[in-house]
Amino acid sequence: MRYLHTMVRVKDLDTSIAFYKLLGLTEIRRNESKAGRFTLVFMAPPDQPECPVELTYNWDGDDGLPSDSRHFGHLAYAVDDIYAKCAELQAAGVTINRPPRDGRMAFVRSPDNISIELLQAGDALPPQEPWASMESTGHW
C-alpha cells in the first residue's frame, strides 16, 4: 500500500491554486475531463511531488461549497519559518485563524474552507509578537 493524494473540492479553481501557491505548493499535474465536466489539479511541495493535494473543480459548480469542512480534518505542512510564512499569508489577505503563539503551530483556511495546519520544522521558534498575543479568529 502507498499513499497517493488527498482530494479537496474547490469552488473557484484559480483562487484555490493561488492560495496553495502562497503556501509554497506547485502544480505538478492537471487533468481535464470534458465528458465528466471537471478539472483535477495536483499540487505538492517542490521537493515532495509524491505528496500532492488534488484540487477537484466541477465545471457546473458545487452549491455545497464553501461549507464548514471541519469534518474533513486538515492538511498539514511543515514550514522553515512559521512566523515568516504567517506574515506572508496575512499580507496576501489570508486570515490566520490560530496564530503561531507557541512558535510551533498555526492554522489557516483555504478559500474553500479547508483547514490547513502549518507546523514549524524542527524545534519551535521562541514566542514573538505580534503572534504571541494574537487571539484566534473563528475556528480551525
Q: Taking 70 as the threshold, does the pLDDT of residue 36 lie above it?
A: yes
Whichever domain contains 45, its CATH number is 3.10.180.10
Same domain, yes or no: 52 and 79? no
Residues in the chain, overall count: 140
Same domain, yes or no: 52 and 12? yes
pTM recorded for the entire structure: 0.79
Q: Report residue 62 CA to chain centroid gap.
A: 19
Same domain, yes or no: 52 and 86? no
DSSP, residue by residue, 37-88: TEEEEEEE-TT-TTS-EEEEEETT--TT-S--GGGG--EEEEES-HHHHHHH
CB 73 within 8 A of CB 64: no
Q: How confident is the model at residue 137 (pLDDT cuts 50, 70, 90)?
A: very high
Residue 117 annotated among the catalytic residues of the structure: yes
Q: Taking 90 as the threshold, does the pLDDT of residue 131 lie above it?
A: yes
Whichever domain contains 97, its CATH number is 3.30.720.110
One-letter amino acid for residue 111 of the chain = P
| Interval 37-78: pLDDT, tens | 999 999 999 999 999 999 999 999 887 777 766 556 689 899
Same domain, yes or no: 51 and 80? no
| Confidence at residue 70, expressed as pLDDT on a 0 to 100 scale | 55
Same domain, yes or no: 47 and 12? yes
Residues 6+ apart with CB under 8 A from 67: 113
| Confidence at residue 1, expressed as pLDDT on a 0 to 100 scale | 66
Q: For residue 115, what is the DSSP state?
A: E
* Count of CB atoms situated within 10 Å of the CB of 17: 20
Where does residue 9 fall: left (phi above 0), alpha (psi -120 to 50 degrees), or beta otherwise? beta
Same domain, yes or no: 53 and 90? no
| Interval 82-120: pLDDT, tens | 999 999 999 999 999 999 999 999 999 999 888 899 999
Q: Taking 60 as the threshold, does the pLDDT of residue 2 lie above it?
A: yes
One-letter amino acid for residue 66 of the chain = P
| Confidence at residue 69, expressed as pLDDT on a 0 to 100 scale | 62
Tell me, yes or no, whether 38 lies in a domain: yes
Q: Which residues are paired to 75 by β-bridges? A: 116
The residue range of the domain holding 53 is: 6-58
Specify the number of domains making up the chain: 2
| Confidence at residue 76, expressed as pLDDT on a 0 to 100 scale | 87
Q: Which of 32, 50, 88, 117 is catalytic?
A: 117
